[in-house]
Structure 1
Amino acid sequence: MASLFFSPAIPADGIVPAISGTHFFDEVHRMITQFSSLSTLELKGADLTVAQVSAVARRSDVGVALDAGTARDRVDRSASWVADNPERLAAGFGTASHRRTQRTADLQTELVRFLNAGVVRKESSLPSGYAKASMLVRANTLMQGYSGIRWELLEAIAKLIDRNLIPKLPLRGSITASGDLLPLAYIAGALTGRKNVRVVTLEGDEITATEALKRVGIGEPFDLKAKEGLALVNGTAVGSAVAATVCYDANILALLSVILSAMFCEAMQGNPEFTDPLTHELKGHPGQIESAAIMRFLLDGTTELGRPTKLKQDRYALRTSPQWLGPQIEVIRAATQSIEREINSVNDNPLIDVDRGVVLYGGNFQGTPIGVSMDNIRIALAAIGKLVFAQFTELVGDETNNGLPANLSAGADPSLDYGLKGAEIAMAAYCSELQHLANPVTPHAQSAEQHNQDVNSLGLISARKSAEAVEILKLMMATYMVALCQAIDVRALGESLREAVKQAVVRSARKTLKGFCEEELICAIERRSVFSYIDDASGKLVPELRAAVVEKSLRQGKEGDRSAFEVILEFEEETSSALREDTVRARERFGRRELVADGRRTWPVYEFVREELGTAILTGEEVSPAEHIEKVYEAMEEEKIGKVILKCLREWRGAPPNRKPASSD
């Protein structure tokens, strides 16, 4: 089915067509593969993707070079035209554009000087990965030959990136209207050797800009020529670079939320009927259709579903999860497409059209696509977080989790094991903050620069807030994955304990009652959740078993050599003793069990959390939930979750053909 949000690769000319064709999973698969496999990125002024930007931002081993064969000629032509016509670019800036000067090179130096107006102390500087990505995007957008900048400056940027020598940029101070003027001025300052600009090495040391240039073989800082200062600072590279990393994460987290919703269905013993293709085809939204199809694929063959005692219809957090997640996926894909356009766009001012010999004054520096896309993506992230929180709270509540203990406590003494109660409180805090961040940034723009920049996008601010939202959602996802694995283990423990209880009761009945009433006793055991009595089976379960024996005895008038009272009393004592011993042994056996793949397609998530990260079921003893949650969160920060997603869906072949019946005339 054609889609409004599934984006093809950007063509060589850098112009992105209307979105059509591929599926969400295919796009995420491409992103994850591109991120992990990238070794050297050759910039050419087109084809740059959010995955490549993210890889350069987060991986110090990715090399960066310029594709001279593709782009150098057009860059040189533009720079030569400016060198031959400097008087055409002698105007001042902003509200001072009426001023003219013949000292066009000095004008560029002054531009960089007055824009170095931010604060770049440790706590108020842009994270180095974002600064590195900003340099990458700026170089890419300047390679299209409309900016009048020398090739040597672009080469210098690429060399600094390649050696992981990254200038410190101010975290705040950009309105992304005439581009990201302040932070980009610090990149320009690094190239021109400004003394106030500090460059951070891969080891975290700070060096001068001049020293950084020397380390990449540039003996002296650059003296900017006409237009070059503007080319460097007057663009949207910082906002779009941060936004690119946000989009990369958001796509992965959206697909992960689909997988975890399927895993939630398994843990809750839910009814997979909600994934039936016809339901979603009748609604018609592509994100919903694919979400449901992926869940159906993941749940195919799962044996843990559908106990007859549960609700006929699951609660909305499960049953409507495709309808909830589908629109968020569509928003995220649309935002990703917009940002991929932006990082391949020419967005400085003025633009040089060498073929026509004209200088074009326009407004491509306005970062509205960034601000709007990031506001929208943040709402989508908040909605995903809301679903995760709803599923989590249902999972840890003993009134809603279909037979699991409150807080998913797995200890033998629930009075001393509060399980994930603290994690639930943390999840409420995360979700609240995430919902607050969903408030839009773009409506808060203030008129700036003597009312010349009277409307401005706030693109970088919105991207930064979206990056915060991503980190909070990662915290929620990490906590949720620990809870899901705990629920699966507790469910398995419950089955082991239930089987031990049955065996103990049957053995006692055969010994004392001569096998009388076995069927009724088993029914009494099955009627209740094992965790509702297992901490005190003698006090909570045995009285019900006694009642079952008494009822059948009265109904059948059973008599024997001894009084019924004596037999029942002996049964109670024998059963209580057997339950104490057998349940202890069952817990011990469960603790020694080997984890074996059981055919679930969500198994890679469980295997990742339990085996790769070395976690185990929480039982209220020494290990805290935080110790497990932090392992999962750190693994997500290290980009390990992408491989887990692909492993879950390695046999996925796409949504099934449309089964919607044709309308009759």
Structure 2
Amino acid sequence: MTTHYISAEHLSIERIGEIIKNGEKLELSDDAKQRIRRCRNYLDKKIASNGAPVYGVTTGFGSLCNVSIGKDQLSQLQINLIKSHACGVGERVPNSIVKIMLLLKIQSLSYGYSGCKLDTVQRLVQFFNNDVYPVVYRQGSLGASGDLVPLAHLCLPLIGMGEVEYQGKVISGEELCRKKRWKPIELASKEGLALLNGTQNMSAFAVWSLLEAQRLSDWADKIAAMSLDAFDGRIEPFMHAVHAVRPHLGQIETAKRMREMLEGSQILNNIKAHVQDPYSFRCVPQVHGAVKDTIRYVRSVIDIEINSATDNPTVCPDDDLIISAGNFHGEPIALPIDFLSIAMSELADISERRIYRLVSGTRGLPSFLVANPGVNSGFMITQYTAASCVSLNKSLAMPSSVDSIPSCQDQEDLVSMGANAAIKLYKVIYNTERVLAIELFNAAQALDFRLPLKSSPAICQIHDDFRRVVPFILNDELMYPHIEQAIQFLRR
């Protein structure tokens, strides 16, 4: 089993994808252990020698920042923080994202600016390595003082509370400790705040979404190429000379990819009766390319975020400072997360328009892509389903980050709502996948009506692979199993 060593070295989004996909284990590097110990020792000495109040360490939280806490209550203060902040509601955060949350929280604490004890971070590593998934609920975070509510649920099992999913069953944190013969962590000063402050919930959703968005962007080009050929579209809008005079990187990449995908197509080289294609075909480089550029930008922001310390206060031993500031605030990533929702929504939007064209009975294709329309409805309602997903995406793509509801007696008077943006992005990703799968279902059907003319070798290969799991539809039959198979095909 491969082991990934947690360190101060750069952690890429792609590497996170590899760790999760390959089931790699985590281990703290010696440097990470040293950083954690050094910061904790500094904090303990600072508390012992300094009578001045330190926010969240020797004081209450939020608007209770002026309430001093006695040394004999510092541990209870942190336990109470986690218990009181576990106010999540709604559906559970999927285990795949909880796993990323654990990794990102471990990474952030390992830098040695948070003041956590080593055994606390080690227990989070044990959760990760033993496939212990704390039960975290989606709703509750304002993306302001970090993801307080979801991170409280993530960390409750550290102290033997809350719930986890372990070996396929939901059990209490107390039962988990008994099963694993673990003692609940005894929290020291500041630890509860270090665990709950941070952007790991938003960031985990963003990392998952970026990995999925990259996959779907790749598929969107392949499917669009198949649809273009099935629709008897033209290649001229993809020629490099067009894009050289408007050289957006994503646009150039997409046009080049479409040319490569379609090279060798008999259909493409056939004489065309039309001089121009609709935007949903002609403007694939401009639309898909803009999505690529958005993904690239959002990745650059999230890349910085997941390689940062985002709790509060920030403990800086080298500078002899403990600073209460705002690194937990979600605004830097809330805006890009909203941006990615808009981009992925547009990827579904243009896909649905291509579906509509394919079923419309034009360019020599039969109405609704069935040989005997009338007695058969064919692919008529697949477009309805795609339109439903696209319409919902339009609602979900309304930015969350433009909203703010002050909290904590107005101490937290501007919040990012980044967690809501992340939840919506998660839904948009799934809807976009469904629409692209439906387009592939339609495009493959339409391509068969072009025989004996064949598409390019690259497109024919995708078509042939797809036909191994989804058949040509001769007469009406149940369609929803085929749509599900198309979705699974995109995932394989």
Shorter-normalised TM range? over 0.9
- Partner of 1:627, secondary structure, is helix
Q: 2:364 aligns with which of 399, 403, 408?
A: 403
- Partner of 1:349, secondary structure, is coil
Q: Distance in 2 between matches of 1:461 and 1:46?
A: 30
Q: Distance in 2 between matches of 1:46 and 1:255?
A: 29
Q: CA deviation at 1:54?
A: 4.4
Match of 2:471 in 1: 616
Q: Distance in 2 between matches of 1:214 and 1:62?
A: 25
- Match for 1:472: what amino acid? N
Is residue 81 of structure 2 the alignment partner of residue 114 of structure 1? no
Is residue 266 of structure 2 the alignment partner of residue 303 of structure 1? yes
Q: Distance in 2 between matches of 1:379 and 1:606?
A: 29
Q: Spell out the pairing of 1:284-303 with structure 2 (5 A cutoff).
A: 284-303=247-266
Q: 2:38 aligns with which of 55, 61, 77?
A: 77
CA contact (8 A) 2:254 2:289 kept: yes
Match of 2:68 in 1: 100
Match of 1:434 in 2: 393
Q: Spell out the pairing of 1:231-630 with structure 2 (5 A cutoff).
A: 231-399=194-362, 402-410=363-371, 413-492=372-451, 495=452, 599-611=456-468, 613=469, 615-621=470-476, 623-630=477-484
Give unmatched runs, 5+ long, in structure 1.
Answer: 1-37, 497-596, 641-665
Match of 1:206 in 2: 170
CA contact (8 A) 1:338 1:373 kept: yes
Q: Distance in 1 between matches of 2:298 and 2:235?
A: 31
Q: Distance in 1 between matches of 2:389 and 2:148?
A: 33
CA-to-aligned-CA distance 1:27-50 (integer Å, 9 cap, x gap): xxxxxxxxxxx9543322443233
Match of 1:501 in 2: none
Is residue 192 of structure 2 the alignment partner of residue 225 of structure 1? no
Q: 1:462 to 1:598 in 2, by over 3 A?
A: closer
Q: 1:599 to 1:491 in 2, by over 3 A?
A: closer
What is the aligned-residue RMSD (CA, Å)?
A: 1.9
Match of 1:126 in 2: 93
- Partner of 1:491, secondary structure, is coil
Match of 2:151 in 1: 184
CA-to-aligned-CA distance 1:609-635 (integer Å, 9 cap, x gap): 112x2x2110115x3222211112134
CA contact (8 A) 2:210 2:299 kept: yes
CA contact (8 A) 1:40 1:65 kept: yes
CA-to-aligned-CA distance 1:324-371 (integer Å, 9 cap, x gap): 221121111101111121111110001111122210111000011221
Q: 1:336 to 1:439 in 2, by over 3 A?
A: same
Q: Distance in 1 between matches of 2:104 and 2:480?
A: 37
CA contact (8 A) 2:158 2:184 kept: yes
Moved more, 173-182 or 265-274: 265-274
Q: CA deviation at 1:227?
A: 1.1
Q: 1:318 to 1:174 in 2, by over 3 A?
A: same
- Match for 1:207: what amino acid? I
Q: Distance in 1 between matches of 2:77 and 2:457?
A: 66
Q: CA deviation at 1:306?
A: 4.8
CA contact (8 A) 2:119 2:185 kept: no
Is residue 107 of structure 2 the alignment partner of residue 140 of structure 1? yes
Q: Distance in 2 between matches of 1:42 and 1:320?
A: 45
CA-to-aligned-CA distance 1:190-245 (integer Å, 9 cap, x gap): 10112xx1111132x11121332344452x10110011111111111011101110
Q: Distance in 2 between matches of 1:246 and 1:159?
A: 25
CA-to-aligned-CA distance 1:72-122 (integer Å, 9 cap, x gap): 111110011122223553122111111111222221112112112223xxx
Q: Distance in 2 between matches of 1:140 and 1:607?
A: 43
- Partner of 1:415, secondary structure, is coil
- Partner of 1:397, secondary structure, is coil
- TM-score, normalised relative to structure 2: 0.94
- Match for 1:95: what amino acid? S
CA contact (8 A) 1:288 1:323 kept: yes
- Partner of 2:107, secondary structure, is helix
Q: Distance in 1 between matches of 2:179 and 2:2?
A: 22
Relative CO higher for 1 or 2, CA cutoff 8 Å, sep ≥ 6? 2
Match of 2:24 in 1: 63
Q: CA deviation at 1:254?
A: 1.5
- Partner of 2:174, secondary structure, is helix
Q: 1:217 to 1:47 in 2, by over 3 A?
A: farther
Q: Distance in 2 between matches of 1:405 and 1:311?
A: 18
- Partner of 2:136, secondary structure, is coil
Is residue 486 of structure 2 the alignment partner of residue 632 of structure 1? yes
Equivalenced residues, count: 483
Q: 1:258 to 1:174 in 2, by over 3 A?
A: same
Q: CA deviation at 1:55?
A: 5.3
Is residue 58 of structure 2 the alignment partner of residue 90 of structure 1? yes
CA contact (8 A) 1:159 1:216 kept: no
- Partner of 1:407, secondary structure, is coil
CA contact (8 A) 1:160 1:212 kept: no
CA-to-aligned-CA distance 1:478-520 (integer Å, 9 cap, x gap): 111111111111222xx49xxxxxxxxxxxxxxxxxxxxxxxx
CA contact (8 A) 1:168 1:198 kept: yes
CA contact (8 A) 1:40 1:64 kept: yes
- Match for 1:460: what amino acid? A
Q: 1:308 to 1:344 in 2, by over 3 A?
A: same
- Partner of 1:124, secondary structure, is strand
| Structure 1 residue ranges, 4+ long, deviating more than 6 angstroms after superposition | none
CA contact (8 A) 2:221 2:288 kept: yes
CA contact (8 A) 1:618 1:625 kept: no
Q: Distance in 2 between matches of 1:314 and 1:265?
A: 9
Q: Distance in 1 between matches of 2:223 and 2:265?
A: 14
CA contact (8 A) 2:252 2:285 kept: yes
- Partner of 1:42, secondary structure, is strand
Q: CA deviation at 1:310?
A: 2.3
Q: Distance in 1 between matches of 2:118 and 2:461?
A: 47
Moved more, 450-459 or 101-110: 101-110
Is residue 125 of structure 2 the alignment partner of residue 166 of structure 1? no
- Match for 2:165: what amino acid? V
CA contact (8 A) 1:269 1:306 kept: no
Q: Distance in 2 between matches of 1:78 and 1:63?
A: 28
CA contact (8 A) 2:264 2:455 kept: no
Match of 2:51 in 1: none
Q: Distance in 2 between matches of 1:262 and 1:129?
A: 31
- Partner of 1:232, secondary structure, is helix
User: Percent of aligned positions with the same letter in both sequences?
Assistant: 26
CA contact (8 A) 1:141 1:347 kept: yes
- Partner of 2:322, secondary structure, is strand
Q: 1:52 to 1:464 in 2, by over 3 A?
A: farther
